Amino acid sequence: MDTVEIRKDFPILSERQGRKPPIYLDNACQTLRPRCVIDAISEYYESTPACAGRSSHRLATEVSLKCDEVRADAARFLGAADPAEIAFLKNATEGLNTVIFGSGLASGDEVVTTDYEHNSVHIPLLRAAEMYGIRRRIVRSSSDGKFDLEAFEEALSDRTRLVAMCLTSNVTGYTLPAREVVEMAHSRGARVLFDAAQTAPSMRIDVESLDVDYLVASAHKMLGPSGLGIMYAKNESSCCLTPLAYGGHGVTGATLDSFELLPPPERFEAGLQNYSGIIGAGAAIRYLGRVGLDAVREHEVALNRRMTRALRGIDGVRILPPSDPNLRGGILSFNIKEMVPHDVAMILDNSRDIMVRAGMHCCHSLFESRGVDGAVRASLYIYNTTEEVDELVQAVEDMSQKF
């Protein structure tokens, strides 16, 4: 991967008025956008600012065709055989909520999750327990931070209706053994939902090969615009889902006392869509296709190995498990003894122009259950360099010595 050339595609990474670009290490929250994505969004507003699937004039037709192209691009990107298995939502959270609240869970049904779920899975399941009386069974991680397949097998029962899990942790970067999870869940008659927001940006996903029922990703974590989620629902599983929202475009028609839903994916896309976001996401998917996800993953892991080796040599620094950087992709979460994570992040930003994230990363239950008051998270992507990693390490070392 030619990082020097890649960085030229990102306007914010160019020097401006003699000022060096920031060291952006908050990619697990949101990635930067290349010029082609920005241009695609602008082109929509400048050239085809119309609604898809409604009006019959030329501009509307052009938008409809572009959205259809992106749906096909997204299907290929995720390994789906049918573009109709891809729905565009306002974010990944909406997709996760759609599956959790739309899959007909009832009192006595069980849902199996990990103990490191993002709040976009954790909170809806707490609410579903209040509303429907479902039971949640949580698979505790091993002491080394890995997924415990034996504990997962024990958690499954004849009452398990759904397995809803974070495919890649946004706190540790660990990716669970997806194929084994799906096979074991299906053997008990349960459907599987994967939160792939942290997986899709840098790892190949083949939903057909995995045989997963539902999978959700976020455009803004993979070079695309904010405000767009991508939901995969297997054809035979999507018909079992009821939409989260109802309104225009999601129905074939309505009378004063009845309505009929459109088939998937349109039934999940009620209301005005984020057309510029869909078109921008298409540009992002094509950009990642040119770079190659294998190259993305290799680059992230190489930088993580370098950062891990250096931080391990600093007194007072503790890296959240797993310890092996090869299992953490582009994410490294750590703490400095005697320092509050938010203070570390602010010092890095103010003194070195290094941008990381601090706190509980929308994964409060993980930190609360382990008695840890958050962490500093440095997350890497295709435009980050070894020099930036070394700059972060030097800044952390300086802080550990000073404070």
Catalytic annotation, residues: 362
DSSP-assigned states of every residue in 267-322: GG--S---HHHHHHHHHHHHHHHHH-HHHHHHHHHHHHHHHHHHHHTSTTEEEPSP
d(CA 65, CA 49) in angstroms, rounded, equals: 14
Residue 261, phi then psi, degrees to nearest 5: -75, 150
How many angstroms separate the CA atoms of 351 and 348, rounded?
6
CA 138 to chain centre: 21
Q: Is 368 helix (H, G, I), strand (E, B) or coil?
A: helix
Helix (H) or strand (E) holding 358: strand 357-359
Distance CA 68, CA 75 (A): 11
Spell 364-395 as b/e; 16+ CB within 10 A means b. Answer: ebbbeeeeeebbbbbbbbbbbeeebbebbbeb
Give dist(CA 64, CA 53) in Å, integer.
Answer: 6
Six token digits for residue 38:
């920005």
Amino acid at 221: K
Given the structure tokens 């018909």, which residue do they identify? 239
Residue 215 CB-density burial (10 A; 0-12 exposed, 13-18 middle, 19+ buried): buried
Are 172 and 328 in contact, with CB atoms under 8 Å apart? yes
Q: Beta-strand (E) ranges in 148-205?
A: 160-166, 191-195
CB 350 within 8 A of CB 368: no
